[in-house]
Structure 1
């Protein structure tokens, strides 16, 4: 299998979920390529080409960290490849991390759509990613039963009115953001509420969300594959993220720690109500962030957390993901154009 992973930038990539998946695909003997989101080239009379980087197949990489070291070293091979030679393009770049590179935000998905039209399997489905590109708005299409109360607007008066209705306790965050950046807990003691609203709304739309007291215990990241919770050897791909002392944001980038969690009936209810839409839309690999019985965020662009599984005694699950992709490539080969990319993307 020839598979190419789209990253923000190879030079700045860290040893997270994408690298762990690349390492596993490499260990399983596949032709694994990496590219930055700026490495596509369109030619009007030829298929899209890619300036790819490859760790030589005979390189032994015992861990994702060692794989990344090889990928970023001068031992890695740079080569221009024809996108139609690929079996799979796995879009893993995070647009919300493209500070100062606005041109890069939608490039991965846009070129992904074109490559998908060339009959290459694209994961997640590129048209689904286009639809869900602002994942906090995609989140709002899900059933209200599983979501906290919220409002999306740039209107300060509406945000203040929502605050009043929530007994002066709400969470404010940018509609397009990740990693807990610019996320505020606004309570009755907040003296700078007007300034915070003005700051956030000057950058774009703002989402105000009902504050969930259970967040004090952290949130739970549930990783889904083909609309189902990943499970291997009786273990489920679930990780609790516990915020640091004095912090309500449960983001690893902000110092949260990993802990184990069971899949509660409330979490399963959220999965059951979310899965039909994810499957219909062609979203292969998705992360759900849950606080007790409410879904607070959905990550369809570059869900992560797998690199933390070893900290809580879980299997890495990387082989589980790569095996699923291998099956899709085989289905595509056997059915010879009868299955759409969207169907293949979430087919077991």
Structure 2
């Protein structure tokens, strides 16, 4: 297969990224890998879509994540027709380009839609990613699985929400990732609320959520594949992320530690409540962020932490994913 990964920018890829794990496993299984940045597409007349790609062929000498990144960054870009690929995999983070390249994510999705319209398989489905590109996507799911939520840019609305919650709430950007601009607001600190809302709201809407006491134990990143829990040999692709002392955020690159987590029936029952819509929306690879009995976020663009999950569980979940994709791609074109 020819598998094209659409990422933000090639020179910013790292060896512990989930995309790197997936790409190396695909290479090891004999597939050709193409990396495409959000600025690399070309549109020609009659709906033809091309891209300047960094191409990596299966090679026994690429035997580690670090070697793959080294080879990738040394590649010269080649202009290729997207009709010649088997799969376009959208693995970029829209929030990384919000400030310096605000055009990048939306245009990337538009090009992906055209690639899909030309008959190529695209995951996660770009037509549905449009509605899933911020935290409001969670509001489309059963209310029992999500925290109480308000979205606004007006601090008076947030104050009203805080008064209903009485003690404390979480504030963060509606469109954000990586734990940036996440605040715990105590009721006694409400005099500073206006400034906090304005600071978060500089880049868009603000989301306020009820504070969940179980958050002191961190959260669980839980992977789904086509709506079903990703598992192998009795292990689930999941990890607990525990924030440091005096830290609110459970993001790994914000210093959170990872721990092996036991997945019980209550978590599986919670996950089961989102699978039908995720399948319907063709969200192929998804990372859920779970706190207690609630899902805090549904990550549909570039969910990470698979490196840490593989290390802790001593299980290679990338093998499961690429094997599943091989069958999925074959079925897609057999039916086309």
Q: Verify same fold: TM over 0.5.
A: yes
For structure 1, the 5+ residue unaligned runs are: 338-348
Deviation of 1:57 (Å): 2.8
Does structure 1 retain, via aligned residues, the 8 Å contact 2:47–2:114? no
1:12 counterpart residue number: 12
1:63 counterpart residue number: 64
1:153 counterpart residue number: 152
Aligned-residue CA RMSD (Å) = 1.3
Does structure 1 retain, via aligned residues, the 8 Å contact 2:32–2:56? no
> Matched residues in 1 for 2:305 and 2:320: separation?
15
TM-score by length of 1: 0.93
Deviation of 1:264 (Å): 2.3
1:210 equivalent in alignment to 2:174 = no
Alignment of 1:236-255 (within 5 A): 236-255=236-255
Does structure 2 retain, via aligned residues, the 8 Å contact 1:56–1:77? no
3-state DSSP of counterpart to 2:54: strand
Does structure 1 retain, via aligned residues, the 8 Å contact 2:235–2:313? no
The superposition leaves residues 41-68 of structure 1 with CA deviations (integer Å, 9 ceiling, x where unpaired) of 0001362111000224335222222211
> Matched residues in 1 for 2:192 and 2:13: separation?
36
Does structure 2 retain, via aligned residues, the 8 Å contact 1:55–1:77? no
2:163 counterpart residue number: 164
3-state DSSP of counterpart to 1:182: coil
1:277 counterpart residue number: 277
For structure 2, the 5+ residue unaligned runs are: none
The superposition leaves residues 286-336 of structure 1 with CA deviations (integer Å, 9 ceiling, x where unpaired) of 11000110111110111111011244133131111111111111102322x
The superposition leaves residues 69-127 of structure 1 with CA deviations (integer Å, 9 ceiling, x where unpaired) of 21112xx2431110000110001011111131111121221110000001000001111
The superposition leaves residues 106-154 of structure 1 with CA deviations (integer Å, 9 ceiling, x where unpaired) of 12211100000010000011111122122x1111111110111111111
2:321 counterpart residue number: 321
3-state DSSP of counterpart to 1:266: helix
Alignment of 1:173-192 (within 5 A): 173-190=172-189, 192=192
> Matched residues in 1 for 2:311 and 2:247: separation?
21
1:85 counterpart residue number: 84
Does structure 1 retain, via aligned residues, the 8 Å contact 2:310–2:317? no
3-state DSSP of counterpart to 1:105: helix
3-state DSSP of counterpart to 2:187: coil
Does structure 1 retain, via aligned residues, the 8 Å contact 2:168–2:184? yes
> Matched residues in 2 for 1:233 and 1:6: separation?
31
3-state DSSP of counterpart to 2:140: coil
Bigger Cα displacement from structure 2, 243-252 vs 52-61: 52-61
Alignment of 1:1-348 (within 5 A): 1-15=1-15, 16-45=17-46, 47-58=48-59, 60-73=61-74, 76-98=75-97, 99-134=99-134, 136-190=135-189, 192-335=192-335, 337=336
Bigger Cα displacement from structure 2, 282-291 vs 264-273: 264-273
> Matched residues in 2 for 1:107 and 1:146: separation?
32
Does structure 2 retain, via aligned residues, the 8 Å contact 1:306–1:316? no
> Matched residues in 2 for 1:311 and 1:27: separation?
19
TM-score by length of 2: 0.96
Bigger Cα displacement from structure 2, 7-16 vs 186-195: 186-195
3-state DSSP of counterpart to 1:106: helix
> Matched residues in 1 for 2:30 and 2:175: separation?
37
> Matched residues in 1 for 2:203 and 2:76: separation?
40
> Matched residues in 2 for 1:311 and 1:331: separation?
32
Q: 1:46 to 1:208 in 2, by over 3 A?
A: closer
The superposition leaves residues 17-48 of structure 1 with CA deviations (integer Å, 9 ceiling, x where unpaired) of 01111111111111111111111000013621
